[in-house]
Structure 1
Amino acid sequence: MPQNNLNLFHVPLEELFDTVKSKFPQYVYDFKKHVVLLNNDLHETEAFIRLPLHMSLEDDLTVKTAEAKVLYVSIESGHAAICVMEGTHNVYHTTFSAYMTRKKQGFSQIKYLKKKGKSRAGSRVRLASTMEFFENINTTLTELLETYRVDRIGINCNATLVPFLHQSKVACPFEKKDQRLYKIPLHIPQSNYTHLHATIKKLMAPVLFYDDENQTRIKLEMGL
């Protein structure tokens, strides 16, 4: 993983793409990660550009739309935030919370159940709350996907919680391998609207990533 990054918010996207095509003709657009790989003549990746998720592209970097609809979902134990963006405009957001954490120990009921079972009353209450938590999330996601024609789904969810999202009594409206899925590449400190929206704002600008060994060449070729 490249150690250095440079925000390219000041560079017009058309100009940026023209430079990529001219200086790195072996480039590859990776739809899943929504990045442009800057490859040399040996097809070795020397750097990559993380692109704004509201920009929908063809493989040849032709912009299909700058107003893509993106559903963002951030889930952690006991907290979740959902947001729908049309381009750079927030058109919907909501949050969820549930009693899922054992107060003294501070870890989630899900992890506790794997160790101790669910015989105690408190455990059963937290488990019921957990089930309702994911049912409410999936109900909202279903309604949103019926309301908006979403181009991408940006998700931040701990691997421990993913099975609960997809095994809820209320079915998750997208599959684990849905082609629209995009793993949010930034750490979200807490799954609330404030932190999710701050993350979305960071993802609105293209960012160049590169290693020290390629720094001089990359910056020279990119005109930076």
Structure 2
Amino acid sequence: MAEKSILKSFDEEQIEQLLVSLHHHYGSSDYDISKHQLLFPEKQSISIRLPLCFTYLNDNLLSSNFMIILIHSGEAALAYSEEDQIVEHKIEKAYMVRQKQGKSQIKYLKTRGKSKAGSRVRLAGTDHFFEEINEKLAEWDEYYEIDKIAISCNKTLQPYFFNRTNAALQKDDDRLFKIPKHIQEANFENLTFIHNYLISTELKFDDSDKELINTIIFEIDNE
């Protein structure tokens, strides 16, 4: 059957009502902390990704603060959100891309070398780029109470982010949440788009569940 999905903004009371209804119809649920979602063993076609502005603990929703990290070659967009509002954000850019080939210096080094002056400049820019990101994240993590960290960073760049001697974050940090969306550019527009996505509730279900799910949502919306 075709998988359907609904992305919707609910407040805390509405999410609690939604969970009560889903548990009533589909039984108990299991919480997957890495994906921040609830799965229903008795109805495996149903899943619900909870908003990142809430922590799910002992079947209860608690207000949550989180960071967003978007990193692409030569650009990064960072944000700190308290509950469902962006409080601080930072955009970083670096000279990392070889103009003719259009590829990052990091990727280029896998097949070439770093002997040319331009390559060395780009590498210096890369190090400064990740250091600026690292310093901002360390500052936020020290000053604020961070419950979750949503991240989008391709595998090529991850060693330059996680393997720094003074890295603000470790790859095994249990607060990390991989953003389940492809992001073309790390800019402010996409940062706000992803933030809105992360503070929304996402329901996934099969065609056979569509009528009941729509009925549950309609009842919540009209209470």
Same fold (TM over 0.5): yes
Query: How far apart are 1:221 and its partner, in Å?
Result: 6.1
Q: Which moved more, 1:175-184 or 1:30-39?
A: 30-39
Letter of the aligned partner of 1:98 in structure 2?
Answer: A
Q: Could you tell me which amino acid in structure 1 is paired with residue 4 of structure 2?
A: N
- Cα contact 2:10–2:201 (8 A) shared by 1: no
Q: CA deviation at 1:197?
A: 1.0
Query: What amino acid is aligned across from residue 174 of structure 2 in structure 1?
Result: Q
1:198 partner letter: F
Give yes or no for contact 2:80–2:88 (8 Å, CA) kept in 1.
Answer: yes
Give 2:111's aligned residue. Answer: 115
Runs of at least 4 residues off by over 6 Å: none
Structure 1 equivalent of residue 130 of structure 2: 134
The corresponding residue for 1:75 is 71
Aligned-pair distance for 1:174? 1.7
Indicate yes or no: 2:181 matched with 1:189.
Answer: no
Aligned to 2:49: 50
What is the percentage of aligned positions where both structures have the same residue?
A: 37
> Residue type of the partner of 1:45?
Q
Q: Which runs of 5+ in 1 are unaligned?
A: none
- Following superposition, the deviation at residue 89 of structure 1 comes to 1.3
- CA deviations over 1:147-192 (Å, ceiling 9, x no partner): 11100001010111000002235x2212101110000112222101
Q: Is residue 2:140 matched to residue 1:144?
A: yes
Partner of 1:39: 41
Deviates more, 1:121-130 or 1:50-59: 50-59
RMSD over aligned CA atoms reads 1.8
Deviation at 1:205, TM superposition (A): 1.6
Aligned residue type for 1:220: L
Q: 1:8 to 1:98 in 2, by over 3 A?
A: closer
Structure 2 distance, partners of 1:94, 1:76, is 14
Superposed counterparts of 1:1-224, under 5 Å: 3-9=3-9, 12-40=14-42, 45-60=44-59, 62-65=60-63, 68-169=64-165, 171-211=166-206, 215-217=207-209, 219-220=211-212, 223-224=215-216
In 1: Cα distance, 2:200 partner to 2:31 partner:
17
> Partners of 1:160 and 1:35 in 2: how far apart?
27
Question: Cα offset for 1:95?
Answer: 0.8
CA–CA separation in structure 2 for the residues paired with 1:148 and 1:218? 40
Looking at structure 1, the residues matched to 9 and 84 of structure 2 have their Cα atoms a distance apart, in angstroms, of: 14
Deviation at 1:9, TM superposition (A): 3.0
CA distances 1:62-121 after superposition (whole Å, capped 9, x unpaired): 1122xx110111000000011000011111001110000000100100000110011111
Q: For 1:175, what is the secondary structure of its paired residue?
A: coil
Aligned counterparts of 2:52 and 2:137: Cα–Cα separation in 1: 19
SS at match of 1:116: coil
Q: Residue 45 of structure 1 aligns to a residue in which SS?
A: coil
Confirm or deny: 8 A CA contact 1:28 1:59 kept in the other structure: no
Distance in structure 2 (CA, Å) of the matches to 1:24 and 1:131: 50
Q: How many residues align?
A: 213
